[in-house]
Chains A and B, each alone.
Chain A
């Protein structure tokens, strides 16, 4: 058994936080080196807190997401796994190696505890966020697993089918999910790879997804990134600075329950294939009408710059709504969805090509919310189907997941500790 320390041994092949990304000073005998500003993209993000990091954390540039199925049925094994994962996540997010001996300090006859590809790299804003799927609580026949009888949140039910879904079961579900985000893809991969390795014999990878070029800004300090349709995506997203929205729409409250999930959030993932080659043959006007925004500025077609309020009532010169009835922004707007909002955190992907001369490209949609039924399901019902969102001609949902993300951990806790208390 590995005896993982709860706190990484700083310095084991890791860059101490704070000097991350700093160039080497030119130290002369009696002059101190000039101060070097640390690269903000390289700095570590605190792992501990009331909420898990990686939800309202300003979205990093890269994603590596994995869904796993538990292969053990033993409660103690699962608890041990969550403890070991938490310990490893503490270490990696702070830029340290996994384990006691790390990547290069162990016995020459032992496989290194840490896989090593993050040696010498800064923490790069790594966050690791865990979610629990329905399958962790109940088996296919609805019988409780791991002694979690009565702990399954009502809202952790399978998402309903939506018109137009073409879900591949191999890309759906999972007993557990881990989202690793970082500003360096190597760091995100290293995190997931080491967690998967720790899990062998207890959990197995169901599917995984790499993503790049965050498609949502989750902070006012960030410019809005573009999705692979070439449009700014996430202009109207909930921002971390909007304290009230975050509180109302992201975190599970005490009155919502269950107790173990208070301060947590529900994560919805959707793998959305984009028919980009077809989209690219669409006129600029047609593209903009489908979305409801201008491609260049990101401003709504009702007028104004990117952050101008969307005026759903505005009419164009022809007397038709400026923002088309079937445009994406109208159908996703809180005003037509009983006020529902989401905190989106999606990423672009290109998984090679499909052998038909097309890129396998799309959006790995990620949204966090307080209530998946009143939020994601409500909005997706407005959008789904060939008679609804004009974008449906160019997109198809092929993967889907719903996970309950426990609250954050303190100095001594582990992911999900309240659930197993």
Chain B
């Protein structure tokens, strides 16, 4: 039983009075140039029947909330995306689509499954890939995701750092979990560079134990939430941005292999099970649920990139993963205010709510732990 995630999304959309529209053009779009008009409640793609090959989506945000636009293949495999399109801005997205059915999705406020629109591509089918080409395609697909996430990570970290250095405490507090979202989605990439990860995302007790200065995200978090000011944070803020940029550059030079991707999808879940469930990641701000969600999204993106490989070999495992991801999302999403995108402060969750999250993550962890072997068998 495959879960039609899209349907879930559409239901939510309907409930919120959001609508996806496509102009009913009878003939496939010839030029491959499309416009996407995104508002807070609509996602209008200029044509929904496209020709195989590269298409350019010009995404204009006519709403009041920051939005994103994704093109998804089956199982939410990301074919292309633009993040962080501010109100009034236009961003271009070029996606090379073989014959098939896809979904375009706008995410006003960057919340939920988005407002979705079916896109039908006719013409040349995707060529059959050999096993190794499939793995390469999966890695490439994920590399695209990492690139768009890390570009935005730099943008948002810069905004955060600027707010810290300007002494704008409230603004910095608002930006902190947002910037971290992009960090947490691609954490396996950061963890590959062992020496940079601890100084960027390390925690206080470990810094103490190592006898080194406590730096990075959590150093600034502590100052913002415990002291309520930004005194002495300039140096940490500059260093944070430097290191984030370094990690992004390194990550783009050495993209993850398909096997690392599989291991990364599990690694992200392990992160959730050990760091987020306990509430120790963001011990000062209690913004753990932002990180939690981002880890799950990153894990899901990795699995989605591997989907063709997994579908061919272990369709049952894919069905299990779909069901368990959906279950985690269901459990998690009830803690988000969809109108603002804010997540509940982690210290406000009851013990039963935390246990329900823990159970859902454990249920997903078991099938995810089987993915790497499937990928290895394809190599």
Contacts and interface: CB of A to CB of B under 8 A. Distances in A.
A339 to B, nearest CB: 43
B299 interface: no
Contacts of A1: 316-317, 320
A201 interface: yes
A380 interface: no
Given A201-B324, A204-B359, A109 B376 contact: yes
Which A-B residue pairs are the 4 nearest by beta carbons? A201-B363, A110-B373, A109-B376, A109-B373
B75 interface: no
A181 to B, nearest CB: 26
8 contacts: A1-B316, A71-B359, A107-B376, A108-B376, A109-B376, A110-B369, A201-B363, A201-B364
A301 to B, nearest CB: 47
B372 A109 contact: yes
Interface residues of B, number: 20
Interface in A108-165: 108-111
Interface in A165-223: 197, 200-202, 204
A111 B370 contact: yes
Interface string A337-381: 000000000000000000000000000000000000000000000
B363 A200 contact: yes
B366 interface: yes
B377 A107 contact: yes
Nearest to B266: A111
B3 to A, nearest CB: 14
A107 B367 CA distance: 15
Nearest to A203: B359
B362 A111 contact: no
B216 interface: no
Given A71-B363, A204-B362, A111 B369 contact: yes
A200 B373 contact: no
Contacts of B362: 200-201, 204
B interface majority secondary structure: helix
B365 interface: yes
B356 to A, nearest CB: 9
A200 B328 CA distance: 13
Contacts of A106: 373
A110 B359 contact: no
A107 B363 contact: no
A110 B372 CA distance: 7
Contacts of B370: 110-111
Interface in B322-379: 324, 355, 359, 362-367, 369-370, 372-373, 375-377
A110 B369 CA distance: 7
A197 B366 contact: yes
Contacts of A108: 376
Nearest to A111: B369
A201 B366 contact: yes
Contacts of A111: 369-370
Contact of B373 (A71, A107, A201, A202): A107
A106 B376 CA distance: 13
Interface in A222-236: none
Interface string A90-115: 00000000000000001111110000
Contacts of B373: 106-107, 109-110
B258 to A, nearest CB: 12
B223 to A, nearest CB: 33
A103 B227 CA distance: 51
A109 B373 CA distance: 5
A143 to B, nearest CB: 20
Contacts of B316: 1
Contacts of A110: 369-370, 372-373
Given A71-B359, A109-B373, A109-B376, 17 more contacts: A71-B363, A107-B373, A108-B376, A109-B375, A109-B377, A110-B369, A110-B373, A111-B370, A197-B366, A200-B362, A200-B366, A201-B362, A201-B363, A201-B364, A201-B366, A202-B363, A204-B362
